[in-house]
Structure 1
Amino acid sequence: MMGNQSFARLFQASPAPFLVLKPDAPRFTIIEVNEAYLAATMRTREDVVGLGIFEAYPDNPDDPAIAGVRTLRASIEHVLASKQPDTLPGLKYDVARPDGTFEERWWSPVNSPVLDENGEVEAIIHNANDVTEQYRAEKALRENEARLRFMNELDEALRSSGDAVAAMSAAAQLLGRRLGASRTAYAAVDVDSDAFIIHRDYTAPGIASSAGTYSLDLFGPRAAVDMRGGQTLVIRDVAGELALGEGRETFQSIGIDAIVCCPLVSGGRLAAMMAVHQDTPRDWRADEISLVEAVVERCWAHVERVSAESRLRESEAKYHAVANSVDQMIWLTRPDGFHDYYNDRWYEFTGAPYGSTDGEAWNGLFHPDDQERSWALWQHCLKTGEPYHIEYRLRHRSGQYRWVIGRAQCVRDQNGQIARWYGSCTDIHDLKMAEEQLRELNETLEHRVFERTAELEQAHEALRQSQKMEAVGQLTGGIAHDFNNLLAGISGSLDMMQTRLQQGRVGDLDRYMVGAQGAAKRASALTHRLLAFSRRQTLDPKPTDVNRLVAGMEDLIRRTVGPQIAVETVAKAGLWSALVDPNQLENALLNLCINARDAMPNGGSITIETANRWLDDRAARERDLPPGQYLSMCVSDNGTGMSPDIIERAFDPFFTTKPIGVGTGLGLSMIYGFARQSGGQVRIYSEVGNGTMVCVYLPRHHEEEVCEPEVVPTLPRVDSRGKTVLVVDDEPLVRMLVVDAVEDLGFSTIEAGDGPQALKVLRSDAFVDLLITDVGLPNGMNGRQVADAARELRANLKVLFVTGYAENAVLSHGHLDPGMQVVTKPFDMTVLSNRIQGMFDD
């Protein structure tokens, strides 16, 4: 039979899987197979030809329920006996893979006999079409239909449930029966105690209920993590998957050997759980797990919807109750402006029958003169969504028209579309009438108010002038007192020197000269304090490391405050730099420490602390500073403290709480002036009996301090031959002293009394090597203007400014051009001479 080559080629080329069996029951040896069959069964010719069909294709040993070999053998034996073809409509017959594992397959086999000339079975042709995908599609369709029927049944049960517990209990019963579970339970979670409560559950016959209260943590970390993380918990074998101490005991104590538990998470918190229990290990399929999750999702959506509807009904009831409890008329409209709700006040005011003003009928209750404008505005608001706000006259139930104010605001949905309009009407008729009366009254009152305001302004101006004169009187009185003492010492010393010269007793002159010079120096110090308070002292600002400055002052401060006072410094690491006059900052620090010492007559402690400060808008306003970066230097004590009224006056010049003869009352005034002139601020924080803290705030400077070598105070004399100095000062005595000092150094001098005279000299051919000029000059030019003009004429001319105080604007706020310096009156003549020599040396 098989010798026919044409048939053999046709057999091998057929796309249908065929093999030929020898009728040697029960072996049924494979004597031929085509390529389609080999491909379908993942075999080669050598694997199967010569073997019995059931040797080549055995049953799947891992599926004890499979009956592939038995069913196929019965069909082949039937063909052999009946000599008729036999068709099997659907046969599960798994096929072994090359690696020995089995792949699920479904076949539609047809077994046909081949008879010889005697009518006996010569061979059996086995044709097996693979219908696995068709079977799976049909099975999925059946399962999907069953699932849809189940979900419809679930929806019906949910619709008939009145609350969340009833809905979940109904769902648990349906789900338990569908899956053939031992138990199905719904649990509500108490978010405060992290416990969950099972009110009732579905149980199969013979299974105990799990109703009760449980702690989630007792079920082990795996269950707790999955539930709180919103993940479905799947355990197929509690004993095999959970060790002792990991929740196994709790699961088994309530008869759970396998579980699928799906959490319900609301607002990021675990709110409830739905669990399916099995009292024996169970290999949960993916479709079973997904069904549990789908049921939970459907149930939770139902619960949320029912809760939302309940909340909406409750909210509407509350709204109506509130709307009917207020005095205003309340109304609502649809997005198109159709009025569909009025509260009771509307009907009480208008006397209209209930429902008669729905839609657009409300406009007929308006005064005829107000209808057109109110309707036009309402239509505009409906189109634009702008708030509705208008005053109009509305017909009262009495038949009279009363003024009301109408307001309405739209509410938009999540897409920005208008969902509703909420409006109100308020009776303002009495108010309008009162306003009219008030306007009439105001016409007569305006003139009286104007007159009274003028009187008050005059009184305030008089009070301000009085306060100003009181401050000036206190300031001038203090200055006069101190300067009279100093002038008395200077004048008396000069008188005695004159008397001794007339007497020829020159031996006593030094004593009087020293006394006069001492008084002059004290007068200079007092002047500097006054200038510091007025923020017009001469400063020499430099980038300064305040921590280093405080450390350098620490020994001096300890000696000054004495052994009864403990001094502690708290230096901020990485403290920012400040652009200040270090000498003035040292004086300020020493003054603050002396004040602290005087506040602790029985001893105590002083703390000096530095810090970096970021001042935002609020903090900067509290300190009267621009917002930005500052560093602070604070001096604290645990002394007697200060009352609010003392703090308020602490910066006033000559104000002091110390005994007569102790202090000048200018210390804090000087510190305040220095801080403000440096761009900073001073603040006092104190309570009576609880000590005081004074903080100096200075702006951050972005350049670090440069440590300069100590300068020897005396300079070698320079060669003065051929050098000429132009001296400009309007005070003849001062000009004379400066000229004498310059000429004592061997320089030539030219004098000028003001700026114009100086410019004549500078425009001439006269040699000028140094310009010494007073800052405050008469006749239209100050010293800075003279210097600038001189630099235009002589670019490299050196300039030394001499001034009684440094006008910041004139001297560019302390920033001078190269070759310019400042010396402040009164000055020691030796200091002036050294400064002049130093400038020529440079």
Structure 2
Amino acid sequence: MQHPADFPLPASARAPSNSQARLELATRAARLGIWDWNLLDGTFVYSDRAREICGLPPGEEPLRLEQVQACTHPDDLPRTRAMLQRALDPAIRENVPYEYRVVHADGTVRWVLAHGAVEFAPVDGAERAVRYTGTLQDITEQRQLREALESSRARLQLALDAGRMAVWEADLRNDVIHGSAQFNRLLGFPEDASPTMEQIRAGYPPGERERVEQEGRAALARGELFFETEYRYCWPSGELRWLLLRAQTLFEDGQPSRAVGVLMDVTARHRVEEKLRTSEARLKLAQRVGDIGVWEWELSSGNARWSPEMYMLFGVDPQAGISPEQVWREGVLAKDRAAVDEAVRRSTEGGRPLDIEFRIRVHGETRWLRSKGTPVTTPDGRVRMIGVNQDVTRAHRQKLALEDRNRALQEQAVQIGRERERLFELSRDMFGVLGFDGSFRAANPAWSRILGHDEASLFARPFLEWIHPEDRMAAAAVMDGLERGEPVPPFESRMQTSHGGWRWIAWTAVAEDELVYLVGRDATHEKLAAQELEAANRQLRQQIEGRERVEATLRQMQRLEAVGQLTSGVAHDFNNLLTIVLGNIDLLEMVVQEPKVRRRLELMRQAALRGATLTSQLLAFSRRQRLEPKALDLNGTVHGMSELLKSTMGGSVEVTTRLQPGLWSALVDPTQIELVILNLAINARDAMPVGGSLTIETANASLAEEPQQPGEPGPGDYVVIAVADTGTGMTDEVRARVFEPFFTTKDVGKGSGLGLAQVLGFVQQSGGGVRVQSAPGAGTTVRVYLPRARALAVAEDAAPATRHRAPTHRGRRLALLVDDDVAVRDVTAARLRRLGFDVLEAGSGGAALDLLDRAPQVDLLVADFAMPGMNGAEVARQARSRRPELPVLFVTGYADQAALAVVGDERVVQKPFRDDELERMVLAAAGG
């Protein structure tokens, strides 16, 4: 066996021989084993102590790695191998102690603590581990002690958790407290919190902390080191809890320095005690309110114990000191006392409960008590009777009154019987008694008075045969229900009279003892009156419904009129602004060639055009847009839009058309109807997010009924175009609001809510109406009814392509421009100059007429229609009075159709100017 000094160590680690001796002495004293692993040849050298620790036989021969690993516990072998690899890796060089188990030859398992150090050196040009040296220590006993301690701590913690106890320690000098996680829970804090003393003290209700501290000081003053109390505590959440505090005070230098103890939540016990106290109080209150007393009587000795309520039943003060025997003897009537004693004797001898009533005298008044008791035998053989007494005087008096009342009722019953017989004979209602087979058993004279049959004729036929054949089945069902014992409602039937006619009878029927009792009332006149009333009510309902439809239509028209008035004013100012924006964009595009700038100008143009479209939609639903109705073939319109619709719908929506042959011509604005179809198709597409089918159908329709809802068409001939989808559909609430302006079910930014309102406005302005059919999950169909044109539809020529015209060569012409808006006038003048005109500008009608009088030659008058003071129409009228041949062109953002009707569509250019519309109209008006 080699000594530690014999192990080859690095030169830097070698020490004098006396150091080696001390090392050997230290290892022996510490009972350490030493090992040395030569990683170059794979041999282990273990000291005697190391072999003993690992359960290897003694010897000096080197060991192999397989021998060392064979004594390692199989469960720990993967972990030790992983740690060994990290220690020998030059890139990691992990050097940590580790514990593992070894198994001796006799099966003994020991715990070992290993410390090692690795020596690295260059080998074949690479650095690697060449030697691993270390110590082994048997720590089985320490491990067992540690596990026992942890187990003890776990059991202690389990006991604390089971008892819901929290452990705490307070530093009294520094006013600091530490507690377990349960301590935080009991005080209403999170388990991982570290509450301060201020936070903890904040939970004491007013005066509670002072009381606890006073009790603690009093215990110390008495020399008691242990202190226990209960107190209320309010959690941060506001919940009030009851806590039990047990503490021991520790002293240093004669002064309290620390306190340790436990804390328990006793809220549940306090609540139970509170409920018990409440229950006892309620029991006492119930005894007093119910005049109930509790007693206990020991038969052998005659001793009795009474509750205070028992004394009060006998009219005796419970504090007067009178024994129950004396109160009983003096209070119970003598004639009843013997009966009570006999009843008690029988109850105790037979072991049966006691229940008896008797009388007592209380302040000169006789009262009745009811006594209930149960005999109980004690373990020593003594018999006791326990029970209650209740004052039942009122019940006795009520019983006597009830008996008197019954006698009176019996006399009344005899009288009522006589009166009923008289009523049966004289009643104007038909009383009858039938068997379940319908045969008559009895009938009063009213049957003969109402129906005209004598009693013999009536009894000759069953009841059902007298009933009208149409009512007989319902009456038979009533009879069957009565036979089954079911309650039946009142019913009516027609009964045959002696002269062959029929009378309405209202019946009430009940069954008892296999007989049916009938009461019939002649309701013929009421029935006729009810029929007349129903007819009158139907007529009234129709009138009310018609009035409601008219009122609903009027309200809708009033709303549209109010919005229309608003939009007319908005359209004028808004269109002026858009004219300025678009006009200046056109001018900038003529002088700017930079691509980026031109792209931004185009974005500005698109935004301005969207604003113009919004204005157009506002005017459409308010029915203030300018329309050019023509006789139109809607089949051709739908056919011409097929490709546009298919591209708009996308690949997920199938577009189908069903066009009726021989379709009437519709009187409608061609441009606007295309927008209507496109609007409805886009709405349908949005209602089919995962795809579906869109069907566009045309048809002729002749309506005769009045509209049921605002917006529906009235009577007349119509050409119908229907747009149907297979989308999500609409609820009744959404369908009722679908044409309201700005109402939309789409997400914010995905719809203005004007699409369908624009459709309704255009259609109603054209003289038609709209109907919507929809249900959730069943798709939507919108039918647009357009007025029939009496003339045949004429195909329109394609509009000539507009193009800029160059100025003529006959010299520049002169245009007089009048507009009250300077910016709009500036833009319009610039566009006129591009057409080769010299421009005279005027800001008002009066200024324009002055210029006209002074100018030698004016070739064209361009006037804003809506101007303050003198509008464009008045300016044109006075200008033509001066120069009758003067061409006039109006530019306007105004929407009053009545005012524009006197001008003519061929002389009106809408603001903002779109494409080359202004240039086309100017050249057409000026003849060049």
- Normalised by the length of structure 2, the TM-score is 0.35
Which of the two has higher C-alpha Rg?
2
- Normalised by the length of structure 1, the TM-score is 0.39
